[in-house]
Amino acid sequence: SIQLGKLCSRIIEQHFGEVVRTVADDLFASIAKPLGHIIRSTGLTKPEVSKSLAILLKFGLATFVLNKGHTGYEYQLLHDRVLMILRYPRYVHLIQTKYGHESAALMEELIRAGSQTASYIILKSFANIDAKDRNTLAMLREKFGALAQDRYIIRAPNLKSRDGELTELAYDDANLFCVPELELRDLNELHEGKSTPVPDEGINWLVNVEQFHLDFRDGIVTGAVERMIDANASECMKYLLELMFERTKPWEAVSNPIALVDLRQRCEKKSQNVEMLRFLDQYMTVLESNEFITKYDNKGGGQFTVNAKKIFEQLTWSCIENIIVEKYGSKAARIFRVIRMKRFIEQEEIQKEAMVPAKEAKQLTYKLMEENFLLIQTIRKPGGGSAGAPKSFFLFYVNQRQIVSMLLESCYKALYNSITRSTHDKAVNKRLIEKSQRLDSIVETMKERGESEAYINEILETLTPPEQEILKKVKLRVKSLYSAEIGIDETIFILKLNQE
């Protein structure tokens, strides 16, 4: 789509520069392209194109495949991975929340490097941590192992020989999350700059976005349960999702059956919530009535399945209805809901069912149709001759797939506009922002030296009141745009899950 192309182009330009963006734009316009064609169509030199492709491959934003004749390679842009760059701060925040500051530093360094060895990431993070002692290196090594064990990082695919000369990328399935042995002595020697062989050379690591997205998915589901029912039901759903993860493939539409006995044992083992344990049967009944789970069998106290597809279908409907409420009001949302429930309905029936005055109902219905939230189907009744002219019926209906595609386009456009505006504001006020940062740094140094408050205030006054006002407005606008970007990305995530 055009909007997705513009958004990918903006994100890549922002993070990797103009030359890489030119190559990415060229790849986006085609399904797959060999190196020679990219050089011709972009007008760049071979070293520039090769370096750009190397950057895109290193950060997992592109891939290469053998052409049909098995004579060379074709390169493809992974536009979904490009959009995930916007989620990197959320990945780091999740790791910070679950594992602490040191693990977040490791994740941040791996994101910045794209693909790198464990020893490099550990030593780079060690150099960047302020408060460190002789145990910090050992702790970082353990934290890296924990991230791999919990599948937040994964071994990068290696080049595998094919047909003698040509190679392709292949994962080592047996050791995807296995961290090689790293001796502290070797790490210390590498940190001190001694010429020691790197113990894990050739074993690179990537961020495993699949695991982060599973966590985001589970967070959305438990959040929805908490809003609809209460915190106890949300906790119950959390343990159900844990059991689902253990027994079912991660992205299956429906989980394997989970026995109530197993759920009770898990809750008793992990939870201190007495109220939830006491009313567990009732909470399961409420979850079932709200279609979060489905009863599969009665044996073993009852067996339940989690229907992830149905949950996200319902969440998508809620998302669509919320958008209609915000844009056109609650009456329009009521009309939309009526048409969705009835599946096919005539105009006269809409106003009766939605209990909206005829004129207003027509205006809102046609407004929703104009904005592609509704579709119309014409049914002609056979007639003619002595029976008179044939009669036509116009039935309104809703197509969720088409609405989701339309909303995704709107989200891409909104994200593009938000990033463009934010970049413009920072560029226009670059001098002022840099001046403010310099002052903050000077003041911090002065406070460490124990300078007087009067002298510090005198330094701060070099930023005039008009400049302070402009700076305050810019910071507020950039902050609100960033918040909007996070909200839009969450909407994209829900809509994409429903699509898949």
Rounded to an integer, the average pLDDT of 323-328 is 91
pTM comes to 0.85
Q: How far is CA 255 from CA 122, 209, 282, 304, 498, in A?
A: 37, 21, 21, 9, 16
Residues 369, 396: contact at Cβ < 8 Å? yes
The predicted pLDDT at position 164 comes to 60
pLDDT digits (tens, 9 = 90+) for 421-436: 998 888 888 888 888 8
- CATH topology of 2-79 equal to that of 313-398? yes
Domain residue extents for the chain:
2-79, 86-207, 212-306, 313-398, 403-498
Sheet holding 293-297, edge to edge: 258-259, 303-306, 293-297
The most confident of the ranges 15-19, 127-131, 274-278, 459-463 is 15-19
Cα dist. 359→52, 352, 355 in Å?
58, 12, 12
Highest mean pLDDT among 34-43, 133-142, 386-395, 411-420: 411-420
- pLDDT tens digits, one per residue of 336-367: 999 999 888 888 888 888 888 888 888 999 99
**Both tokens assigned to 183:** 């001796």
The CATH class that applies to domain 313-398 reads mainly alpha
The pLDDT score that the predictor gives to residue 52 is 92
Looking at domain 86-207, which of 1.10.10.10, 1.20.1640.10, 1.10.760.10, 1.20.140.10 is its CATH number? 1.10.10.10
Token couple for 290: 């709200």
Q: Burial-class residue 254 by CB neighbours within 10 Å (0-12, 13-18, 19+).
A: middle
* 304: β partners: 258, 295
Kindly report the CATH number that applies to the domain delimited by 2-79.
1.10.10.10
Q: Which fold has domain 212-306?
A: Arc Repressor Mutant, subunit A (1.10.10)
Number of Cβ atoms within 10 Å of the Cβ of 240: 27
Q: What is the pLDDT, as a whole number, of residue 96?
A: 93
